Structures are given as C-alpha cells and as structure tokens.
Amino acid sequence: MHSSEFIKGTLKTLILKLLKENGKMYGYEITQCVKALSRDTIQLTEGALYPSLHALELEGIVTTESEIVNGRARKYYSLTPTGKTAAKEKIAALQSFLQTVQVILTADKKTIQTI
C-alpha cells in the first residue's frame, strides 16, 4: 500500500469530484472511497482531509449537516450552489493539467529537443 507524494494540490479537487457524484459524503467515507477507487494506492490521511474539508466550508464551497448513525457522529458534506460551479471548474482544470503533464512525461527526445 504505497502512498504517493503527488497528492499535493489535488486533494481538494478529488473531494469536489466525489461530492459532485455522490451528493453528500462524510469524511471517513471519502477516505474509503478514494482508497477503493485507487485500488489501495491512495490512502488519504485524516490530518490532510479534515482541514481541507473545513477550508472548503469556510470558502463556502460545501455545507455540513451532522447525523448520529449507529451511535456515532457523522458529518456530511455537500456542495453549495457556488460549490457546484467551482467543482466543475476545478475538475476540468485538473483534467486539463493532468493531460498536459502526461504529454510532457511521454514526450520523446526528438519532440523535446526540437524546441
């Protein structure tokens, strides 16, 4: 279960993507979802996740509602109207960026040297 050092900067956008598709999710659920979707290669740390969620709330991107389920507190996060717009933009921007990086990483000598 080799975690990667590359999550930097992508965490918030990944959260927004999951919230966009799932409607609402709670923190622990997000960690498990990312773990499953990444085939156990990305294990979000709680020390990174919760502060990110709190920041998104402060920014007005998400709202929260607390529930007690099976005797345990859960805090559900969902996108605000502003958040939905922001999510679309962020997701598109990240996809575009990833594609650009892929182009660079897969470029061959000729392509790079003819610049």
* Residue ranges that bind DNA, judged by CB under 7 A: 3, 5, 7-12, 26-29, 32, 45-48, 50-55, 69-75
Return the residue of 24, 28, 63, 91 that touches a copy of itself, per CB under 8 A.
91
- Please give the Cα distance from 67 to 106 (Å, whole number): 47
Choices 27-35, 43-51, 64-72, 76-84; region in contact with a copy of itself by CB under 8 A: 27-35
Instruction: Give 48's Cβ-side CA count (13 Å radius).
Output: 15
94-97 long-range contacts (CB < 8 A, ≥24 apart) are 94/10, 94/13
Work out how close the CB of 18 gets to a copy of itself at its nearest, in angstroms, rounded to a whole number: 7
- Applying CB under 8 A, what is the total number of residues that bind a copy of itself? 43
DSSP, res 70: T
Q: Does 45 bind a copy of itself (CB under 8 A)?
A: no
Of 46 and 108, CB closest to DNA: 46
Q: Which two tokens stand for residue 8?
A: 């930097």
